[in-house]
Amino acid sequence: MILVFHNNDKVVEIFDYANNQEIEIALGSIQERMLSIAFKNKSRFIGWCHHSLKEDLNLSEWNSILKHQLLLVSFETSDHFYITSSIGYVEDTPFINVNKKVKYPTWLMSSDVGVIHASVLLKFEYLLKYRLTLNLFLNNIAKIGMKQGLLCYSNPSLLKKSLENKIISKKNISTIDLLWFVKSNYRFRWILLYGLNLFIYKKRFIIFPFFRVLFKNPIRNKISFDDLKLKVYRKSILPTIDVLIPTLGREKYLKEVLLDLTKQTLLPKKVIIVEQIPNKGETTKLDFLAQKWPFEIDYTLIYQLGACNSRNIGLQKVSSDWVFFADDDVRFEDDLLRKAFNYIDCYGENAITISCLQENKVIKQQVVTQSSTFGSGTSIVKSSIIKKIKFDMAYEFGYGEDSDFGMQLRNLGTDILYVPTVKMLHLKAPIGGFRSEIYREWDKELIQPKPSPTVMVYNLKHATEEQKQSYKTTLFFKFYRIQSVKNPIEYYKLMNKMWVKSIYWANFLIKQYSNEI
């Protein structure tokens, strides 16, 4: 480990902890010194740290944090990042609402303290020509690299817990640099949306910065880590795995899933099946469950509809080291689980989501990345983690339970990796969805809530204020085209009423099910 200590403006010390010696400081910016060291030490990790935090470094934990070279980890000591929360006007992912108490996936980087592998840092040498500040340099590395498989985190364990409240003061990003960042890393139209939201909700005009950035070349953002080969971080010694499958009216498809599981080179220990039947008195048609299977069948029949409830019942029955959340209408090859655990071992993470596409659908992405979602029918998770959480019943018969479950995982310090090269086929069975007419309390409302209250539940629980405001703006324009009120003023009034209704019913759902989480 080589650490570059700075005072925000220049390097004040460079220390090689492996050889216990100080390295001579040459002229140049902080990032130039980091790159110079990386050229001479291509197999080492290069860290940075504000000099006032030197005694607060928790170096004994760094080895457990640095599992492989495709990592970029930092920690911001203040309550806000260099790139301000207004970035929520253009980004709706969970990566910007950072839980600083745990390891959390984010591209929001800090110059306070952090670390990157030399081989990764060298990929971004070209950024020097843009003469970026250290913070803008680090945030561009994270934003660009994250799309190509660089795993980026905020991690409080970089510093000693007793001292992690020490705050390093520094300037926030300027409006011009923020617009330049947006232009470089998002589509151009998002600059317009950013300006519109800033005017609507903050009463700020950015005409001058907008025209400055309009003629400024974007920062190049095409890189690849294909030449960096990861070593196995840990080896799962015969991992045990349970498979959780909720089902309703898909006997034929469920049997095919079970047959695929029997062919696995890594057999599951137990398959947990929770069957929903809407009418009491009806009997199961899953007679084939009585056959002899090479794994235990744990079968539960319930006379209550709802995927959240079914999965929660199934989660209570998990007893293996890992749980595979599966759907009842998927097909897969005999090495699916073995391949999945190869990636789990390589990256050392505790949750992955695998590819699940319909026939003839192709995904261009072929690299492992940090997932902004969670697939409740396509994921494998460490069982010890899911014992602490459950699917929020506020989403039952609505949308968002997958995303909410993913946020619960992240807020426990568990990242979710998307592995596109481990694939399942989604048959999209004809009997699907909720399969029965569901009536909600708000169906009787004269003014219907917009968006759906379950969507609003997610926004209220997990989105930043700016993300909620931006969602409202984009919804306003999208819904205008498909509704009947074409008078803009009347439509604006109507949408505000629908938005308020949605918030009301979302809070109703949150309160109703608050004791169940």
Could you tell me which residues come within 8 angstroms of residue 376 by beta carbon, excluding any fewer than 6 positions away?
307, 311, 325, 391, 401, 402, 405
Give me the phi and psi of 166, to 5 degrees please.
-65, 130
**Inter-residue contact 42 to 147 (CB < 8 Å):** no
- The predicted-structure confidence for 319-328, as pLDDT tens digits, reads as follows 999 999 999 9
4 vs 16: CA distance, rounded Å: 9
Alpha-carbon distance 410 to 229, whole Å?
Answer: 26
Q: What ranges make up the beta strands (E) of 191-276?
A: 241-247, 270-276
DSSP 54-81: GGGB-HHHHHHH--SSSEEEEE--SSS-
Q: Kindly report whether the peptide bond that precedes residue 239 is cis, defined as omega within 30 degrees of 0.
A: no
The answer for residues whose C-beta is within 8 angstroms of residue 451's C-beta and 6 or more apart is 471, 475, 502
Q: Report angle CA 508, 372, 505 to the nearest 5 degrees.
A: 10
| CATH no. of 241-426 | 3.90.550.10
Kindly tell me the sign of the dihedral angle through the C-alpha atoms of 28, 33, 37, 43: negative
Separation of alpha carbons 501 and 442, rounded Å: 9
**What are the C-alpha distances in Å from 167 to residues 129, 160, 162, 163?**
31, 13, 13, 10
Residue 433: its pLDDT value, please?
42
Q: In what order do the strands lie in the sheet with 45-50?
A: 21-23, 11-16, 2-6, 45-50, 113-117, 71-75, 151-154, 104-105
Number of neighbours of residue 63 by Cβ within 10 angstroms: 10
Determine how β-strand 113-117 pairs with β-strand 45-50.
Answer: antiparallel
pTM: 0.94
- Summarised one tens digit per residue, pLDDT across range 441-500 is 999 999 999 999 999 999 999 999 999 999 999 999 999 988 889 999 999 999 999 999
In the chain, which stretches have pLDDT less than 70? 162-165, 236, 431-436, 516-517
Which residues does residue 73 pair with via DSSP β-bridges, in sequence order? 115, 153
